[in-house]
Amino acid sequence: QRGNPVLKFVRNVPWEFGDIVPDYVLGQSTCALFLSLRYHHLNPGYIHDRLRHLGRSYRLQLLLLQVDVKDPHQALKELAKICILADCTLLVAWSPEEAGRYLETYKAYEQKPPDLLKERVEQDFLSRMTDCLTSVKSVNKTDALSLLTAFGVSLRGPATFPGAHWGQEDLSLCPGVGPQKAKRLFDVLHEPFLKLP
């Protein structure tokens, strides 16, 4: 894409021009097509042709869309639908600078392991108990802290969680924990552990 204003904002990763089907190759299995909404309004069939020509050559196909019109809502809906049908990820940028940052980020993370993106759970007792309790549907961090406090759990860590011995009614008395959350918690705390092969 010679002459694309986005290129002057791709400064932190090396790039070069080449004869390729997508506009940008961001890794062995990742590519991007660039589209400005203004251009899309003038040539609505362009992106269909590009996606058809691209096929399924890459595992992750991005449509980097630069919003450069006053009322983008209808076009965004249309392009979101096109991307869903084409198994393509839609990235919306509101300026050439933002579009350049998206390209840089994808390229910079090309060889990085996926665990860099994973949430890190602290190893202290409170963090681990909070993570455990919030794995129950609709239980949030505030609920977890209320439960731990209500059960008199030392935040440094007991050997067992005394709430496992409480009934649904007891659980529902905790602030923020109603009958539905109490039932879910009770059911989870009384399920047998799965034995993995």
Domain that holds residue 141: 125-189
Assign residue 151 the CATH number of its domain. Answer: 1.10.150.20
Q: Give the tens place of pLDDT for each residue, 53-108.
A: 888 888 888 899 999 889 888 999 999 998 898 888 898 999 988 988 888 887 77
Q: Give the tens place of pLDDT for each residue, 125-169.
A: 778 888 888 888 888 888 888 888 777 665 444 445 555 567 788
**Distance (Å, whole) CA 33 – CA 45:** 14
CB burial of residue 125 (10 Å; 0-12, 13-18, 19+): middle
**Distance (Å, whole) CA 30 – CA 8:** 21
Q: Which residues contact 4 (CB under 8 A, 6 or more apart)?
A: 23, 34
Residues 78 and 172 in one domain: no
Domain boundary among 96, 116, 136: 116
To which residue do tokens 């239980």 refer?
Answer: 139
Domain boundary among 116, 144, 159: 116
Neighbours of 140 (CB within 10 A): 14
Residues 108 and 169 in one domain: no
Q: Which of 36, 98, 96, 24 is closest to 61 using CA atoms?
A: 24
What is the total count of domains within the chain? Answer: 2
Residues 96 and 158 in one domain: no
Which amino acid appears at position 25 of this protein?
Answer: V
